[in-house]
Amino acid sequence: MTAVTRRVALRATIPAAVTALILTTACAPDDSNGEEPGDAGELSHMLLATGSTGGTYYPLGGGMASIWSEGIDGLTVSVQASGASVENLRLLQAGEVELIMAVNGVAINAMNGEGDFAGEDHDFMAIGNVYAEVTQIVARADAEIETIADLAGKRVQIGPAGSGTEVSARQILDYHGIDADSDIDSFQDSFGDAADQLRDGTVDAAFGILALPAASIIDVATGTDLVMVDLEGEPLEQMLADDASLSAVEVPEGTYPGQDDAATWVTNWATLYVAPGLDEDQVYELVSLMYEGMDPDTVGHAVADEIQLDTAIDGLGGVPLHPGAERYYEEQGVDLP
């Protein structure tokens, strides 16, 4: 199979308003007024599980939660930091949250009881894609790492346990014949920690599922020489052939300070999922505000520019749409699966 590589439009990050938005949403009440996610009727409070504070999910989710809270009568949406995709899907299944962000490929595994979710039953629905998620692989220039194979024997940050970053890192390493548990010295922390570790030399390389361009990588690369570790050849081709949720993405030279050559990485989608029992009208309002009220200025994050109807349901992989989301897309003329 020939890899289809697309160029991603790169936008400047807009971190300024994010902190203020999160301050209004970061701390959730102890419960959702006694309501379980599967209860009928509209909820007055929803909890959105995001990711680590150093990644994209948490600040983006804070901005989205603020808009939903201000725009939907009687509803407050709060955000919760977490280990991201795998943990979020389990939180949703346990009824501890009503909304989550997760990598679409990880969600597909949960729906099918595969990978980290072997033997588990998961029941959830999609409401739409938020942005393209790129697995970015960077290394210190002095670590003599140019390819994935060069990671063997190195100190490598593979992301928090249960995160989409960990899943993607293990997948990529496996396709290159590297066991994350025995062939590298694995570190498992947030990308905020990974950035500090790259800067001070605690780790040689790091994986991170982040929006392009990632502010944390720009920050490190400004003062530390980094190498963008390229994916290529048969391992990449085979991975794309085996995993329909993935596509290849070319990251142009100059995306990051000191980046002299384009790099090829892989991308999934950051997708919003909900408990299946959420009220249809309330989910309809959530989705309509996503596409009609969210942009970089209102959300306070550049990747909000990628919330687009033409990619809203790409890569769902058999995960059903919530009826409220389906109704909105039908009204907007989106071709449904």
Q: What is the CATH number of the domain that holds 278?
A: 3.40.190.10
Q: Facing residues of 269 across strands?
A: 132
Same domain, 292 and 182: no
d(CA 4, CA 263): 14
Query: Please, what is the angle between helix 233-242 and helix 164-175, to 10°?
Result: 130
Over the stretch 156-212, which tens digit does the pLDDT of each residue have? 999 999 888 998 999 999 999 999 999 999 999 999 999 999 999 999 999 998 888
In DSSP notation, 102-141 reads EEHHHHHHHHHT-GGGTT-----EEEEEEEEEEEEEEEEG
Same domain, 142 and 258: yes
Residue 297 C-beta-side C-alpha neighbours within 13 Å: 2
DSSP-derived letter for residue 302 is G
Same domain, 109 and 215: no
What is the CA 30 to chain-centroid distance, rounded?
Answer: 25
Over the stretch 195-205, which tens digit does the pLDDT of each residue have? 999 999 999 99
Query: Which range among 161-165, 259-263, 319-323 shows the weakest confidence by mean pLDDT?
Result: 161-165
d(CA 302, CA 322): 27
Indicate whether 92 belongs to any domain: yes
d(CA 245, CA 161): 21
Same domain, 281 and 242: no
Question: What is the percentage of the chain residues whose pLDDT exceeds 90?
Answer: 72
Burial of 145 (0-12, 13-18, 19+ CB in 10 A): buried
The residue to which tokens 């989409």 are assigned: 164
Indicate whether 337 belongs to any domain: no
Same domain, 143 and 216: yes
What is the CA 151 to chain-centroid distance, rounded?
Answer: 24
List the domain range (segments joined by +) for residue 217: 133-268
Residues 66, 97: contact at Cβ < 8 Å?
Answer: no
How would residue 120 be classed by pLDDT, with cut points 50, 70 and 90? very high
Same domain, 156 and 98: no
Same domain, 158 and 306: no
Same domain, 249 and 213: yes
Indicate whether 160 belongs to any domain: yes
Same domain, 291 and 241: no
Query: How many domains are contained in the chain?
Result: 2
How would residue 147 be classed by pLDDT, with cut points 50, 70 and 90? very high
**Residues 6 or more apart from 96 whose CB is under 8 A from it?**
47
Same domain, 22 and 60: yes
Q: Give the containing element (helix H, strand E) for 45.
A: strand 45-49
DSSP-derived letter for residue 335 is P
Q: Which of 75, 136, 63, 72 is nearest to 101 (CA)?
A: 63
- Amino acid occupying residue 109: N
